[in-house]
Structure 1
Amino acid sequence: MSSALQTAYEARIRDGRLRPDDAQAAGLEALIRLEADLAGAPRSPLSRILGRRPEAARGVYLWGPVGRGKSMLMDLFFETVPVERKRRTHFHVFMREVHDLIGAWRSGDAAARRARFGQVRGDDPVPPIADQVARGASLICFDEFQVTDIADAMILGRLFEALFARGVTLAATSNRRPDDLYRDGINRQLFLPFIDLLKSRVEVVSVAGLHDYRLDRLRAAGTWFSPIDPDNRRTFAALWRDMLGTEAAAGESIEVMGRRLDFPDAAGGLVRASFSRLCDAALGPNDYLALAERFHTVFLEDLPRLTPDRREAARRFVTLIDALYEARTRVIVLAEAEPVRLYPAGDGAFEFERTASRLQEMRSADWLADRS
């Protein structure tokens, strides 16, 4: 049987939308194998009669640095794979839905449970949630598989064991290999069985070529746009759309010390937020560290000139940049002025000089290329 995925990939090379990339070959081969497995494993009539659940195919887990084409490969796979019930989503969006379902099961009475889940009995929310997820999709494709939240970490093993038992196949992209998921997380030893389960149910493939396609876009467009005028605003917005590609900015949330930070303009490892949202709000170092851990690229817009009467916001901005700098996060900025002119005089201006220096360094091609 010919591969629709391979045909689509080769067509994009011929028309110039893609270029040959040896580093993507292993990922493409694994997805072609999964495509064939899914197409060639229909459920037998006897299984239907006996009420047996279909077997989950061995999935694929593509991991490697940002910008290597993992999401592009996943997009093509999802578009072409011959599966009727399939879902493509960012991992954090999915887990947010799971936690909402857990809350609905635990708080719902019999009528509410029956209306939402089609069942009412039991104290454990995992089986009814797995049933609902499996009814909606037999193939789930995750982008940006990354575990940073302890609430996610503690439920993943049981949830995915239930999903695999219900015939759900997993395909995923990640910046981290499975063994590095939830690295240094609280009670990580409780998470390790999930890593073993994941590796037993997916083919783990490194997509780690030397060429960073997102970096090409940043080098071509630049990462600092000033002053804030219509032309720079249009360029900033166009770069955001280009970096998103086919993704929709569905929004992301981060849990920090029992609080939830919502970022409505985010997708996977990309987030777009205003200076006011990040620095006028009452945020602190833990919030900025969580932001830097969660996103590999931050689009910061409407950064004003800073004056002594906005010293508190300027102090938060310094803390934000320190966190992003240490995490090697890529930062694209729409600002009123160049870094050295953002806080030219007044109380706090001297301390700001180090931040201006870091901002200049973060614009350099070497610094951008060093982001792993």
Structure 2
Amino acid sequence: MTIDQTGALPRLADRSPQITGAEIASSLVPPSQFEHATFESYRPDHDYPSQAEAVSTLKLFAKAWEPQRPAGLFSRSRKKVDAMRPGVYLDGGFGVGKTHLLAALWHEAPGPKYFGTFIEYTALVGALGYAGAVDLLRGSTLICIDEFELDDPGDTMMMTRMLGELVASGTRIAATSNTPPNALGEGRFAASDFLREIQSLSSNFETIRIDGLDYRRRDTTGSAITVDAGEYERVLGALASRGEAATDDSFDGLIAHLATVHPSRYIKMLDGVDVIGLRDVAVLHDQMAALRLVAFIDRVYDAEIPIVQTGVALNDVFDEEMLGGGYRKKYLRSVSRMIALTAGELPPHDE
């Protein structure tokens, strides 16, 4: 099969999906790679004791959902559980396993419970209205927020207000956050920044520090795999001929299209897609476009969809100014993920 410029394969840029509040709510579960995440399957790095300590603290936090036996009401363990705040904030650099631990905690909680990114919760408010979102989430045992965004003061205040109402009704909260603007460190998040941004809600959170190195660090020093135009057509043709649902987009076309789709709907753009083809990848110089790509790659990574690409290696797509700025941590995480997404085995030439 020959892939030509007219689009013999479907394009992601032709997809403009809509998403309802009910669909968003039903999707508020851990990504597929964390479907079976447990505290036991987390592998602490013994060079960083805070990782094992984080597991112990989260296990204690999870005990709040265990049935209370009369004989244990006055136990030391019960007192420790009761003394814990209703929220936990996992404070650490990227790649230390925060999402794994957040998902493990979610699996420990009885329903109803929700797990999503900050963007997904703000999209829920957009779909249902503030009151509708609160009504839907009220009564849940646990709400997990991965990558709590600190970039938009309005959204941060809205989320803080909503979580305050839910905590007051008995819901427990667990969160991680991204790096706020102008926080140049590529490793740790600053707990003080998170707690300052969520203002009145901060007293409800207990900070759990997780030190360590990015478990993908071997990939961040590598490079995304690129192919030439002929190999690109051969690979996508071979994949399509064996029944793989491949897409074929120009990089510029996809980037332009992402600006027309709310990030909460990126996941629906990927429905039924097995492989993503990207032609003529180029360096980005517009920060808003770069941040949209980061959000899109997060969804691709969660869905575990490999990428075949031509042009500039995806790990070089962010310019030097971006990598030296306030979103450095976001870009480096995305680089790590894009290297992993292009590392899949290509079909042999005899297919």
Task: Compute the TM-score of the two structures, normalised by the length of structure 1.
Answer: 0.50
Q: Could you tell me how far apart the structure 2 residues matched to 1:82 and 1:265 are?
A: 25
SS of match in other structure, 1:98: helix
Q: 1:141 to 1:31 in 2, by over 3 A?
A: same
Q: Could you tell me how far apart the structure 1 residues matched to 2:201 and 2:276 are?
A: 34
Question: Is 2:215 the partner of 1:213?
Answer: yes
Cα deviation, 1:234-285, whole Å, max 9, x if unaligned, reads xxxxxxxxxxxxxxxxxxxx998xx76547259xxxxx987569879xx972
Q: 1:87 to 1:154 in 2, by over 3 A?
A: closer
Q: Could you tell me how far apart the structure 2 residues matched to 1:173 and 1:58 are?
A: 15
Which protein shows a greater Rg?
Answer: 1
Cα deviation, 1:337-372, whole Å, max 9, x if unaligned, reads xxxxxxxxxxxxxxxxxxxxxxxxxxxxxxxxxxxx
Q: Could you tell me how far apart the structure 2 residues matched to 1:274 and 1:180 are?
A: 38
Cα deviation, 1:277-316, whole Å, max 9, x if unaligned, reads 9879xx972423544886897989565459xxxxxxxxxx
Question: Is 2:319 the partner of 1:321?
Answer: yes
Paired residue for 2:110? 83
From 113, 134, 155, give the equivalent of 1:130: 134
Paired residue for 1:154? 157
153-162 vs 294-303, which moves further: 294-303
Deviation at 1:213, TM superposition (A): 0.5
Q: 1:75 to 1:100 in 2, by over 3 A?
A: same
Number of residue pairs matched by the alignment:
235
Deviation at 1:129, TM superposition (A): 3.1
Contact between 2:149 and 2:156, CA under 8 Å: does it hold in 1?
no
Paired residue for 2:227? 226
Paired residue for 1:64? 92
From 175, 197, 202, give the equivalent of 2:200: 197
Q: Could you tell me how far apart the structure 1 residues matched to 2:112 and 2:224 are?
A: 40
Deviation at 1:87, TM superposition (A): 1.6
Paired residue for 2:65? 38
Give unmatched runs, 5+ long, in structure 1: 1-6, 43-55, 103-124, 182-190, 234-253, 267-271, 307-317, 336-372
Contact between 2:164 and 2:201, CA under 8 Å: does it hold in 1?
no
Give unmatched runs, 5+ long, in structure 2: 1-36, 70-83, 179-188, 237-256, 269-274, 343-351
Q: Could you tell me how far apart the structure 2 residues matched to 1:179 and 1:18 are?
A: 24
Q: Could you tell me how far apart the structure 1 residues matched to 2:203 and 2:68 are?
A: 19
Q: Could you tell me how far apart the structure 2 residues matched to 1:323 and 1:288 are?
A: 14
Deviation at 1:322, TM superposition (A): 4.2
Q: How does 1:4-43 map to 2 (within 5 A)?
A: 9-10=39-40, 12=41, 20=46, 22-40=49-67
Paired residue for 1:164? 167
Q: 1:25 to 1:198 in 2, by over 3 A?
A: farther
From 100, 104, 113, give the equivalent of 2:127: 100
What RMSD in Å do the two structures reach over aligned CA positions?
4.5
Q: 1:147 to 1:19 in 2, by over 3 A?
A: closer
Contact between 2:146 and 2:177, CA under 8 Å: does it hold in 1?
yes
Contact between 1:288 and 1:320, CA under 8 Å: does it hold in 2?
no
Identity over aligned residues, as a percent?
22
AA partner of residue 161 (structure 1): G
Deviation at 1:83, TM superposition (A): 1.7
Question: Is 2:193 the partner of 1:180?
Answer: yes
Contact between 1:89 and 1:141, CA under 8 Å: does it hold in 2?
yes
Deviation at 1:65, TM superposition (A): 0.8
Greater RCO, 1 or 2 (C-alpha within 8 Å, sep 6+): 2
From 80, 84, 102, give the equivalent of 1:74: 102
